[in-house]
Amino acid sequence: MKLKINRNILLENLNNVGRALSTRNIIPIINGILFELSEEGLNLTATDNEITIRSFIKREDIKEIESTGSVVIYGRFILDILRKLSSEDVDIEEIDGCKVVISTPTSNYSLNTFNVMDYPIIKMDTNEDSIKLTAGNFKEIVNQTVFATSTQESKPLLTGINLKIIGDRLECVATDSYRLAKKSVLFSLMGSKNVNLVIPARNINEFVKLIDNDELEIELYAFSNRVLFKYENLLFQSSLLNGTYPNTDTLVPTDFETIYRVNVNEFYNAMDRASILAQAKDKNIVSLESKGNKLVLTSSSVEIGKIEEEIDYETVKGDNIRISFSVKYMMEALRSFTGKEVNIYFNGEIKPIIIRENDNGDLLQLILPIKTY
């Protein structure tokens, strides 16, 4: 393998596939990036056995190809080298089947390589059932739900988001069993196949971080044990979590005793200040009480003191309420809304709290209250 290529083009593609490199990995070869140079172009692949990312640089973007071939280069070092170089082009040449030389007019790097034969064979083929989505929409859907996944390995299925496509409806659900985030949208670019996947939160987060142009299209290919996304010149593949994701439809009440309407920013900032006294994450409790024409948020700690915040609100329905909940959960839920105002729905002080932009809002956040007596 021997080629000359623009440094920025190579770096950009290596940065993308480099997201699949794990720092915690103990299998040496998957710290490497697989370079596969053919007459069509250069394929770069990295994997941590959970996520695999492949990027294709087409022939026109390569200055010279002197000989084709494959090589596995230590990912961290090739990335560091390309980031710190300032030359326009770099030459890359495999020598003796055991090292690669990266050179510019003033720099010369000789790196030992891994044996290509040892690199894991990863199936990344597509099928005919592609589902097309707008990149920006998909990123928004993920970001509005994924934070509600569980971080506890004892509930493995809840560490992923549940992505369902039924006809022209896409539904994304995440829950850690104390709160739930659910987004349900109709989309016009229909696929021919229904889909029901549980994608690990970490993996789907890495994928949406790669999206730098919201206008582009994503193609989604679902398989029994993997999901593959096609975006620009990238293939991103993630493993799936096995099992039947719990049915969450029954958790969301349809009737409410009390509905308040609040300004999202005002409510969020008051919550942020009320959280100051919360020293430990699990003591992160705020109480909300309607008093006349104000909502009063209170938080207290015997050792430190007491906080009281007032905000304006509007009663859409029902009566006064007093309820307590995790300030962290409420803040994360509020952050997912893009509008100026939201409705908060209550059924007394021990039933779930629901937040939506309005009764028909396609995004729903549910938080279980905390008993404080």
Q: Which is nearer to a copy of itself, 307 or 364 (CB)?
A: 307
CB of 83 to a copy of itself, least distance (A): 9
**Smallest distance, a copy of itself to C-beta of residue 46, A:** 18
Of 18-26, 80-88, 230-238, 339-347: span binding a copy of itself (CB under 8 A): 80-88
Distance CA 216, CA 252 (A): 34
Kindly state whether residue 316 participates in binding a copy of itself, applying the rule CB under 8 A: no
Kindly state the smallest distance separating residue 214's Cβ from a copy of itself, in Å. 31
Question: Cα angle vertex 189, ends 186, 191, to 5°?
Answer: 95
Mark residues 267-306: x for contact with a copy of itself by CB under 8 A, - for none: --xx-xx--xx-------------------------xxxx
Binding test (CB under 8 A) with a copy of itself, winner from 112, 196, 358, 372: 112
Q: Which stretch binds a copy of itself (CB under 8 A): 107-115, 186-194, 218-226, 227-235?
A: 107-115
Identify the CA nearest to 239 among candidates 224, 218, 258: 224
With CB under 8 A as the contact rule, which of the stretches 189-197, 251-259, 309-317, 357-365 interacts with a copy of itself?
309-317
Examine residue 77 and tell whether it contacts a copy of itself (CB under 8 A): yes
85 binds a copy of itself (CB under 8 A): yes
**3-class state of residue 338 by DSSP:** coil
Q: Is 32 helix (H, G, I), strand (E, B) or coil?
A: strand
Chain position carrying tokens 């990027």: 55
Q: Are 121 and 45 in contact (CB under 8 A)?
A: no
Whole-angstrom distance, CA of residue 22 vs CA of residue 32: 10
**Region of 353 on the Ramachandran plot (φ > 0 left; ψ -120 to 50 alpha; else beta):** beta
The CA-atom distances, in angstroms, between 20 and each of 83, 127, 320 are: 18, 23, 51
- 84 lies in the site for a copy of itself, by CB under 8 A: yes
Question: Does 338 help bind a copy of itself (rule: CB under 8 A)?
Answer: no
23 touches a copy of itself (CB under 8 A) = no
Residue matched to tokens 């993308």 = 16
Question: Minimum CB separation from a copy of itself for residue 303, in Å?
Answer: 7
Residues in the chain: 373
Among 91, 93, 140, 309, binds a copy of itself (CB under 8 A): 309
Please count the residues of this chain forming the interface with a copy of itself, following the rule CB under 8 A: 30
Interface residue with a copy of itself among 66, 88, 310, 359 (CB under 8 A) is 310
Q: Which stretch binds a copy of itself (CB under 8 A): 50-58, 75-83, 242-250, 324-332?
A: 75-83
| Tokens 């730098």 found at | 212
Binding flag, residue 110, a copy of itself (CB under 8 A): yes
Residue 14 — φ and ψ, nearest 5°? -65, -40
User: How far apart are the C-alpha atoms of 73 and 115, rounded to whole Å?
Assistant: 9
Q: How far apart, in Å, are the Cα atoms of 350 and each of 46, 77, 354?
A: 48, 55, 12
Contact 163, 246 (CB under 8 A): no
User: Which one of residues 40, 64, 66, 80 is an interface residue with a copy of itself (CB under 8 A)?
Assistant: 80
CB of 52 to a copy of itself, least distance (A): 24
Q: How far apart are CA 18 and CA 10, in angstroms?
A: 12
> Is residue 88 near a copy of itself by the rule CB under 8 A?
no
Helix (H, G, I), strand (E, B) or coil at 73: strand
360 binds a copy of itself (CB under 8 A): no
Residues that bind a copy of itself (CB under 8 A): 74, 77, 80-81, 84-86, 99, 106-112, 269-270, 272-273, 276-277, 303-311
